[in-house]
Amino acid sequence: MLNFARCSGSRPVGCRYFSLLRDKNFIGGEWVAASSGKTFQVTNPVNDKVIGIAQDSTPEDAEKAIKVASGSFNMWADLPAKEKGIKLKSLLKLVNSHSDDLAKLITAECGKPLAEAKAEVMYSAGYLEWYAEEAKRIYGEVLAPPNNTRELVVLKEPIGVVGFITPWNFPLAMLVRKAAAALAAGCVCVARPAEDTPFSALALAALVEKAGFPAGTFNVVTSSRSQAGPIGQALCASPQVAGISFTGSTAVGKILYQQCANTVKRLGLELGGNASYIIFPTADLSRAVQGVMGSKFRNAGQACVATNRVLVHESVFDKFSSMLATAVKTQLVSGDGFDPAVNQGPLINEQQFQKVDGIVKDAVSKGARVVSGGGIHPTLKGRFYQPTVLSNITEDMKIYNEEIFGPICPLYKFYSEDEAVTIANSTRRGLANYFYSNDYAQVWRVAKRLESGMVGVNEGLISAAEAPFGGVKESGFGREGSRHGVDDYVHTKYVCFGGLQN
């Protein structure tokens, strides 16, 4: 544990969110240091002040966690589904009762506004509630046999140890979304959270411990970026790990896909997106503008389902562009996420900051017009980028093909439904798409034609525990949330009972 007294006065809101701060790995129900003896600092992206230290673990630590998890698997798997649900409900109560502390820790780690961090905690709680109930609804089947001497039964059984590799942009929610489903199915977990935001995962581990989960069912191993690859490879290579669930970039997802081949693991990949947001002539423009504001600028655009390309019909382009620019200028306030007036935080790290700035500079150098914003924030120090609207976008610009992951909104003009759908589908990504239309024949046509795992119709925020979340093409496979969320964590076993004739 950290010496909490040392953090006195480090933030204007006090140190209450440090009540869940842990500086050790959680392996086998114990808080342990990395075998290397090394640690790394975790800083607040607003001001680069140190929040605390975390363990700089190595593959040796990951292998220890895998071994411990493997030893606890049969005990957890054999627990009645009702008992698993009770444990998850206990964890749910703790997440709810510690929601303020969790939200402050998320804001400190990744810089998002406190209101968004609180929403992330509630979003996480929704998955715990869903899978606490779903644990009792993982059904098998009884099949009609080919003759009267047999009975055919299908069982759903947990696959075993599952490795999670989670991102920094929703550090609590992305871990809970995976772990709740896996634990409900009877699997045990080893998580490696992103190096920018390890404390949210460790805080969840602290609540898992308090909820009384058996030792070894949930384990967290942290590391710096230099050890991320080796730990990921250790998880992929281990024959004791039955599955990997990863949320992150397409490039890293492809590496993990290759590394899992030798052991033929179950794999769930939720990778990057390139979401289009289409505004048809019949759209309610006021609603469409507010939808973009949520879909594009939530978490400063750092979301895999964030709007990446806004396609606007030429008949409403000028009006929509003007309305959006006004909304961006009047509704978005950048700054420290602990300030209640702020709704735009910083970009997570220097690498991401330089990427976003480079994408904008490339577009402007090739003829893009700056409608609003357009550069580094003029009054705030650090990694704050102005919420930006660009038009005159062409296919030769990086912004046309790359996932932005920043508060940059490019506008494209289109002239027909076919053209809009063709543009939306002209990418190897297929996570989410959005469109606004009040022509209900068009709604059904376009929803079916868009090549993505999720489609928002007249809605910019679509994720929910009740719905399956995931993509197609190079945005990955597998689904999180809904009843489909347990599919990656169970085997289907067929059992034939013969010799039943009288």
Residue 502: pLDDT band (50, 70, 90) is low
Catalytically annotated residue among 110, 189, 260, 304: 304
24, pLDDT greater than 60: yes
CB distance 458 to 436 below 8 Å: yes
In this prediction, residue 418 carries a pLDDT of 98
Instruction: Write down the pLDDT at residue 501.
Output: 81
Measured CA to CA, the distance from residue 125 to residue 172 in angstroms comes to 10
Q: How far is CA 174 from the centre of its chain?
A: 4
**pLDDT by residue (tens digit) across 127-149?**
999 999 999 999 999 999 999 99
- pTM, rounded to two decimals: 0.94
Residue 370 is predicted with a pLDDT of: 96
Report whether pLDDT(12) > 90: no
Average pLDDT (352-376) is 95
Active-site annotation holder among 270, 417, 451, 480: 270
Please report how many Cα atoms fall inside a 13 Å half-sphere around the Cα of residue 110, on the Cβ side: 32
Nearest C-alpha neighbor of 414 from the set 283, 300, 306 = 283
Burial of 162 (0-12, 13-18, 19+ CB in 10 A): buried
Q: Which of 313, 310, 330, 302 is nearest to 409 (CA)?
A: 310
Residues 6+ apart with CB under 8 A from 293: 327, 328, 331, 332, 460
Q: Which of 50, 19, 24, 28 is nearest to 37 (CA)?
A: 24
Instruction: Tell me the HSE value of 160 on the side-chain side, using a 13 A CA sphere.
Output: 16
Res. 17 pLDDT band, cuts 50 70 90:
low
* 304 included as an active-site residue: yes
- Mean pLDDT computed over 339-348: 96
Whether residue 419 contacts residue 397, with contact meaning beta carbons closer than 8 Å, is answered with no
Cα dihedral across residues 291, 170, 411, 443: positive or negative = negative
Sorted by where each starts, the structural domains of the chain and their CATH numbers stand as 11-271+477-492 (3.40.605.10), 275-464 (3.40.309.10)
Task: State how beta strands 218-220 and 188-192 pair.
Answer: parallel
Q: Are 369 and 391 in contact (CB under 8 A)?
A: yes
> Is the distance from CB of 292 to CB of 277 less than 8 angstroms?
yes
State the CB neighbour count (10 A cutoff) for residue 176: 28
Hey, which bits of 271-322 come out as E strands? 275-279, 307-313
pLDDT average, residue stretch 156-162: 98
Question: Using 50, 70 and 90 to split pLDDT, how confident is the model at 10?
Answer: very low
Residue 328 and residue 295 in contact, taking contact as beta carbons nearer than 8 Å: no
Whether the per-residue pLDDT at 319 is higher than 80: the answer is yes
25 bridge partner residues: 32
What integer best gives the mean pLDDT of the chain?
A: 95
The C-alpha atoms of residue 102 and residue 110 are separated, in whole angstroms, by 12
Q: Which residues are CB-contacts of 159 (< 8 A; sequence separation ≥ 6)?
A: 185, 187, 242, 243, 266, 489, 490, 491
Is the Cβ–Cβ distance between 248 and 167 less than 8 Å?
yes
Quick: pLDDT tens for 190-225: 999 999 999 999 999 999 999 999 999 999 999 999
Tens digit of each residue's pLDDT (9 = 90 or more) over 420-466: 999 999 999 999 999 999 999 999 999 999 999 999 999 999 999 99
Q: How far apart are CA 467 and CA 300, in angstroms?
A: 24
Radius of gyration of the chain (CA): 24
User: Is 173 a residue whose pLDDT tops 90?
Assistant: yes
- Residue 315 is predicted with a pLDDT of 98
Alpha-carbon distances of 392 from 149, 307, 312, 400, rounded to whole Å: 72, 17, 12, 11
Q: What percent of the chain has pLDDT over 70?
A: 96
Q: Name every residue whose Cβ is closer than 8 Å to that of residue 281 and which is 6 or more positions away in sequence.
A: 313, 315, 316
Q: Assess whether pLDDT exceeds 80 at residue 14.
A: no
Say how far apart CA 232 and CA 241 lie, in whole Å. Answer: 12
Sequence-ordered alpha helix ranges (H) in 143-238: 173-185, 198-211, 228-237
